Copies of this chain bind each other. A is one copy, B any other.
Amino acid sequence: MKNMIIASTSTIYGSGYLDYILEELQSHFKNVNTVLFVPYARPGGISHDDYTNKAKDAFSKINIEVEGIHTFKNTAKAIAEAEAIFVGGGNTFVLVSQLYRINAMQPLVDAVNNGTPYLGTSAGSNICGLTMNTTNDMPIVYPPSFKTLGLVPFNINPHYLDPISDSEHMGETRETRIKEFLSYNTQPVVGLREGSWLHVNDNSIILKGNLSARIFKHNQAPYEIETGSELQGLK
């Protein structure tokens, strides 16, 4: 009974927070009055309250209330009773460390499997995969594990970035990094470009947005899939 949006980013260039996906969210969160917001990825070290207010501003445009999970005493209960859940972007290491610290991992898995509508952006999308090994974030804190929610049978690479052809920078391209991941791991990786998202509906996983996505598999050349493609068979 899953019902998830796993988005590459919260914000696309030149528009406001969540603007590009608000119409989709309106139907995704139909009949939802209040979304439980998880601000723990803390982009730029922003406070939980400030980050929650940012989400509130965006959701007010579609008449949905937002409550920060940090304002609840009993996290597991807050998750279990939430009408809908939104895990915001920021730093995946910070997010995962905190989710383990407050024992929120299993409650999140249970809620999504029970049909609670979920939205993840960036770090909040990363954690939907099997592990966080394909995050782009800097490892600024040490989480107890890289294992994440495993709500889709592959890993996510959000903000997927094509190689910049005229770059003189010698750091690895995103594609090189993901290929390195696949020399140590066997699960596929979905490179989600900014403006793309996965819509998970029960056993269906559809690529949405205007762009194609790049699929990386163990011992196989990477390839593109068009928007509208079904990814459920990917494992």
Contacts and interface: CB of A to CB of B under 8 A. Distances in A.
Contacts of A134: 138, 140
A199 interface: no
Given A138-B134, A146-B142, A169 B180 contact: no
A14 to B, nearest CB: 8
Contacts of A165: none
Number of copies of this chain in the oligomer?
A: 2
Interface stretch (A22-30, A57-65, A181-189): A181-189
Contact of A177 (B138, B168, B170, B171): B138
A91 B138 contact: no
A48 B140 CA distance: 29
A180 B91 contact: yes
Contacts of A181: 138, 140
A69 interface: no
B184 A94 contact: yes
A19 to B, nearest CB: 12
Interface of A: 9, 11-14, 42-45, 91, 93-94, 132-142, 145-146, 159, 161, 168-172, 176-181, 183-185, 194
